Chain A
Amino acid sequence: GAGVSQSPSNKVTEKGKDVELRCDPISGHTALYWYRQSLGQGLEFLIYFQGNSAPDKSGLPSDRFSAERTGGSVSTLTIQRTQQEDSAVYLCASRDTGRNTIYFGEGSWLTVV
């Protein structure tokens, strides 16, 4: 597809389990972002990847959160030992080098029960 693709679209998990969320950015986009959107809240920056540079992890809320980007394309956000407060929509976005516009996927809705 032409847009940012995320999977799963919905995930219900039990407290304490690990989850992996996947993002497939727009082909050729070198910059990739993860944001979190809690119910009724704005978008909270989590992590940023740019090419082969070291990622900007400054937004990750705890060491239970990690992300990787393999081959400069697909990214996986991992949340270990999930907590109820992790319930949110996790949005991935990508941007072409030197361009302004950041394009978002439709998000992965995570519910921790």
Chain B
Amino acid sequence: QQQVKQSPQSLIVQKGGISIINCAYENTAFDYFPWYQQFPGKGPALLIAIRPDVSEKKEGRFTISFNKSAKQFSLHIMDSQPGDSATYFCAARRKDSSYKLIFGSGTRLLVRP
């Protein structure tokens, strides 16, 4: 069953705009929520991550907002650039020794010049 739901499936943003990608999870047994960025032909790479005891984390132009009660978290990309065009995956890590990640279905972001 899908435990992490991600939307939208695709997103087109003008250069300089804000890109927002949303995720919701269905299980409380998660303790870490990373976002991965994947360029065509490459493996996913960690972009930014947050723990559930924090409501927001910002790194440069990338911000995660986390709502524990709603079981939702989102990625905001400020001042979006064409180089940000990629597929973004949210994930949730199982709260056990495996550190296994459950991924969302991905969002394909296109930033137009």
Is B42 an interface position by the 8 A CB rule? Answer: yes
* B98 CB, min distance to chain A CBs, angstroms: 5
Dominant secondary structure at the A interface: strand
Bound Cα distance from A40 to B105, whole angstroms: 8
Provide the bound-state CA to CA distance between A93 and B105, in Å.
18
Minimum C-beta distance from B95 to chain A (A) = 13
Q: Assuming A42-B105, A43-B103, A100-B32, is B98 touching A50 (CB within 8 A)?
A: yes
Counting residue pairs across A and B whose Cβ atoms lie within 8 Å, the total is 54
**Which of B36, B44, B97, B100 meets A45, CB within 8 Å?**
B100
Main secondary structure of the interface of B (DSSP, over half): strand
Q: Which of A33, A35, A42, A105 contacts B106 (CB 8 A)?
A: A42
Q: How far is the CA of A41 from the CA of B108 in the complex (A)?
A: 11
A65 at the interface (CB under 8 A from B): no
Instruction: Give the docked Cα–Cα distance between A58 and B105 (Å).
Output: 20
A50 contacts B97, C-beta separation under 8 Å: yes
Interface residues on B, range: 20 to 34
Which residues from chain B sit less than 8 Å from chain A, CB to CB? 4, 6, 32, 34, 36, 41-46, 49, 89, 91, 93, 97-106
22 A–B pairs (Cβ distance < 8 Å), ordered by A: A35-B103, A42-B4, A42-B6, A42-B89, A42-B104, A42-B105, A42-B106, A43-B101, A44-B103, A45-B100, A48-B98, A50-B97, A91-B43, A100-B32, A100-B34, A100-B93, A103-B46, A104-B43, A104-B45, A105-B43, A106-B42, A107-B43
